[in-house]
Amino acid sequence: MTLKTVYVFGGKADHSDPRQKDKTITGGKGANLAEMASIGLPVPPGFTITTEECVAYLRDGADFSDGLRSAVADALKHVEATVGKN
């Protein structure tokens, strides 16, 4: 399984990856939002950047890697599609 840097939640997002609900990977708020969405509670669509990526961002002088930039762009497309904005 490929390690992700960004996890989406809400809408029709796939919540089958257990790492999305792991607080050490997605932080407390991200893990809880993913859990609530996976059990069908009404959660607005969104995404969580992993804690590892956040640490790398700070370590590298507040600079996004190309991979992270692309993953965030894809996550934003999920949010826009879910709320009907193109």
Domain boundaries along the sequence of the chain: 6-83
What global pTM score does this model have?
A: 0.87
pLDDT at residue 86, as a whole number: 67
Low-confidence ranges of the chain (pLDDT < 50): none
pLDDT at residue 11, as a whole number: 87
pLDDT at residue 3, as a whole number: 79
The CATH number of 6-83 is which of 3.30.1490.20, 3.30.1490.100, 2.60.40.2300, 3.40.50.300?
3.30.1490.20
Backbone phi and psi for residue 5, each to the nearest 5 degrees, phi listed first? -105, -20
Length of the chain in terms of residues written:
86
